[in-house]
Structure formats: structure tokens, C-alpha cells
């Protein structure tokens, strides 16, 4: 099966990568963004462009919280505010908690939101089944999904950093999960890598029933896997996402390369996605016979 087809053609290849029109490897053309970004700075650059063009009038992002590396979701309405949100925080940031308030005391009409695949699901569910979400569905104008294998509680990350990697939380410059390791980079140049098997018991249990790796329901989704360091893998999925992406490309916001020309490329993305889904699908199925003659709930099935 050819891995690359052209834009405007939604393709449904292996279900694990979801539907998309275009997949590229890309990075922001803005040095300032790249300096602070986790990978290619796709999220920050695309929101910056959308804010400046009036495509959105605010974006729900994960900014710095009360403790080092604890994310706090907030609504950025300026580029300066947006810039404080770059970088991945590997613990839960309840992004969707602001989605209604954005249309209320913030008075937004056009909302951007970034989040993990589960948060993209929440956004789409809220748009189609707006239970208690009056006036929200038509105001979501750009939903950017980030790839996600699993997430952690704050306590878990702290334990990994302070006990396993022996570094103070506030001394950490960057964290990264890649190449089979959990990487912790210190402000003073230290680099600690933990094998992923050390991290497993700290994962938040809810992630074990998650069947989405590359944010299938976003307008645009992005992650590090598949592209070289400093670059991102980007899926442009919806018509709306395609429209904004094309405009951003035309405006010179991004450098791109066809995904087939980069290593390790889509093959690795597909492999990891398949692994996640296969493993978690098994967990979902096991829940049905968790007890003796009774099981645990399966959210993918309707109520009996």
C-alpha cells in the first residue's frame, strides 16, 4: 500500500492512524517558537498564525501551573500568552474544563484547543451531544491533537523525576518520551534516561482503555514520532484543518518534507499506534470478564 497520497483526498488507511488528507514532516519557520517548542513547534506556530489571522480569538493551551511541570489549562488570547505554553508536560492537564467558560466570561466566538486524543474526543462529543454545553458546538474553530501513548498523574512524574532520575522538578528543562526511553534534561545540562518499563506502574489507569494514538478526531494532529529531532509528524485531517494548514503554508509558517522522505516515517507511527490499540483493546475486552460472572463497564458500548 502506498503510504503517501495527495491532499483533498481523505484516505482511510490502517484505522489506527485515523482519517486524514495529508501527512507531512514539518517544523515552524519561527526561531523563537522552535527554541521553546517540544518538537517542531507545530502547535504554537499554528495557533499563533490562527490568532493573528483572526481564525480564532483565543486558544485553550496548557501553561505553567502552581508547581514546576504541573500544567494549568488557560485561555491564551495573545501571542505572548501563547508562547508561555510551549513544551510537553507529561501529566494531566484538564483542557476541556475551559471550553464553556471561553464562550462566557471570555466572550470568545472562535475557539482553538489543543489536547491529547481523549481530549479531542471530548471536544467532538461535546459538539455532537452538547450536554450542558450550550453555545459551544459552533464555536470550536481549530482543534489540534497531540499524539499520546499514555499520561501520568503529577505525583507520578514527580516520583519519576525526583526518585528515579534523581533531579529536582524545578531543575528540569525538558522531558521527553522517545526511542523507548523517558528522558529528563536538566537546566545544567544533565541528561537522564529511564527505561520505559520503570514508568509503566505510574501510568494513569484510564489510559489503558484508550484506543487512539494520533488524535484521530482533531483538525490537525501532531507528534514527534516518525520525524527527526526538532521536526514533527503532522496529519491534516478535516476540511477545516486543511484550509488553515494551507493558509499557514502559504504564509510561510512552516518548513515541510514529504513524510516518505524522512526516517523513521509513518512506518514507526503505524507500528506504535498498532501496539497501543492492540494492547488497550485487550484491556477493554478483559474488563468484560473482570469479576466472577460479572464485568466492568465498557464505555465503547451503549448502556445495556
Would you tell me which residues interact with ligand FAD (CB under 6 A)? 37-44, 61-62, 71, 85-90, 93, 95, 114-116, 146-149, 151, 177, 222-225, 232
Nearest alpha carbon to residue 141 among 17, 44, 28, 54 = 54
Burial class (CB in 10 A: 0-12, 13-18, 19+), 121: buried
Question: Does residue 118 bind ligand SF4 (CB under 6 A)?
Answer: yes
Secondary-structure percent of the chain, ordered helix, strand, coil, rounded to 5:
35, 20, 40
Instruction: Determine, following the binding rule CB under 8 A, whether residue 81 of this chain makes contact with other proteins.
Output: no
Q: State which residue, 103 or 270, has the beta carbon closest to ligand SF4.
A: 270
State the binding partner of 108 from other proteins, ligand FAD, ligand SF4, none, CB within 5 to 8 A by kind.
Answer: other proteins
Min dist CB 83 to other proteins, Å, is: 19
CB of 112 to other proteins, least distance (A): 14
Q: Is 160 in the site for ligand SF4 (CB under 6 A)?
A: no
Separation between Cα atoms, residue 61 and residue 222, nearest integer Å: 15
DSSP one-letter code for 203: B
User: By C-beta, is 40 or 73 nearer to other proteins?
Assistant: 73
Exposed, middle or buried: residue 129 (CB in 10 Å: 0-12, 13-18, 19+)? exposed
Say which residues have a Cβ less than 8 Å from residue 155's Cβ, sequence separation at least 6.
none
Write the CB contacts of 107 (distance below 8 Å, at least 6 apart in sequence).
none
Q: 12-51 mask for ligand SF4 (x: CB under 6 A)? A: ----------------------------------------
Strand order in 254-258's β-sheet? 71-76, 58-64, 111-115, 140-146, 220-223, 232-236, 22-28, 254-258
- Asked whether position 94 contacts other proteins by CB under 8 A, the answer is no
Q: Which residue is nearest to ligand FAD (CB)?
A: 223
Minimum Å gap between C-beta 157 and ligand SF4 is: 13
Can residue 150 be called a binding residue for ligand SF4 (CB under 6 A)?
Answer: yes
The stretch near other proteins (CB under 8 A) out of 64-72, 101-109, 238-246, 268-276 is: 101-109
Q: Which does 297 bind (CB under 5 to 8 A by kind): other proteins, ligand FAD, ligand SF4, none?
A: none
User: In sequence order, what are the residues at sequence separation of 6 or more whose Cβ sits closer than 8 angstroms to the Cβ of residue 238?
Assistant: 21, 218, 219
List CB contacts of 211: < 8 A, sequence separation 6 or more: 276, 277, 280, 281, 284, 300
User: Hey, which residues between 208 and 227 contact ligand SF4 (CB under 6 A)?
Assistant: 210
CB nearer ligand SF4, residue 293 or residue 300: 300
Q: Which of 80, 105, 188, 250 binds other proteins (CB under 8 A)?
A: 105
Backbone angle region of 283, left / alpha / beta, with phi > 0 → left and psi within -120 to 50 → alpha: alpha
The closest alpha carbon to 20, from 274, 221, 213, 248, belongs to 221
- Which one of 39, 57, 176, 242 is in contact with other proteins (CB under 8 A)? 57
Question: What is the binding site for ligand SF4 (CB under 6 A)?
Answer: 116-118, 148, 150-151, 206-207, 210
Question: What is the binding site for other proteins (CB under 8 A)?
Answer: 57-58, 77, 101, 103-109, 134-135
Amino acid at each position: 500500500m502506498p503510504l503517501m497520497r495527495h491532499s483533498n483526498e481523505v484516505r482511510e488507511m490502517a484505522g489506527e492512524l485515523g482519517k486524514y488528507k495529508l501527512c507531512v514532516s514539518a517544523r515552524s519557520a519561527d526561531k523563537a517558537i522552535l527554541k521553546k517548542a517540544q518538537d517542531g513547534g507545530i502547535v504554537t506556530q499554528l495557533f499563533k498564525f490562527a490568532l493573528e489571522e483572526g481564525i480564532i480569538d483565543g486558544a485553550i493551551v496548557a501553561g505553567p501551573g502552581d508547581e514546576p511541570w504541573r500544567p494549568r489549562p488557560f485561555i491564551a488570547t495573545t501571542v505572548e500568552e501563547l508562547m508561555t505554553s510551549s513544551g510537553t508536560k507529561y501529566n494531566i492537564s484538564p483542557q476541556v474544563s475551559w471550553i464553556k467558560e471561553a464562550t462566557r466570561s471570555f466572550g470568545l466566538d472562535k475557539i482553538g484547543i489543543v489536547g491529547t486524543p481523549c481530549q479531542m474526543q471530548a471536544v467532538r462529543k461535546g459538539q455532537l451531544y452538547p450536554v450542558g454545553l450550550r453555545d459551544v458546538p459552533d464555536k470550536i474553530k481549530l482543534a489540534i491533537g497531540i499524539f499520546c501513548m499514555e499520561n501520568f498523574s503529577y505525583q507520578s512524574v514527580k516520583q519519576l523525576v525526583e526518585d528515579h532520575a534523581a533531579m529536582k522538578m524545578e531543575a528540569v528543562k525538558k522531558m521527553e518520551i522517545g526511542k523507548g526511553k523517558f528522558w529528563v534534561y536538566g537546566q545544567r545540562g544533565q541528561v537522564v534516561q529511564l527505561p520505559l518499563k520503570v514508568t509503566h506502574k505510574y501510568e494513569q489507569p484510564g489510559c489503558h482503555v484508550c484506543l487512539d494514538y494520533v488524535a484521530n478526531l482533531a483538525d490537525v494532529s501532531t507528534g514527534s514520532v516518525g520525524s527527526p529531532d526538532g521536526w514533527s509528524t503532522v496529519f491534516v485531517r478535516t476540511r477545516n484543518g486543511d484550509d488553515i494548514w494551507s493558509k499557514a503554508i502559504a504564509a510561510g509558517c512552516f518548513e515541510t518534507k514529504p513524510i516518505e522522505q524522512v526516517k523513521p516515517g509513518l512506518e514507526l507511527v503505524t507500528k506504535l499506534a498498532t501496539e497501543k490499540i492492540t494492547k488497550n483493546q485487550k484491556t477493554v475486552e478483559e474488563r468484560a470478564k473482570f469479576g466472577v460472572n460479572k464485568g466492568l463497564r465498557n464505555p465503547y458500548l451503549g448502556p445495556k
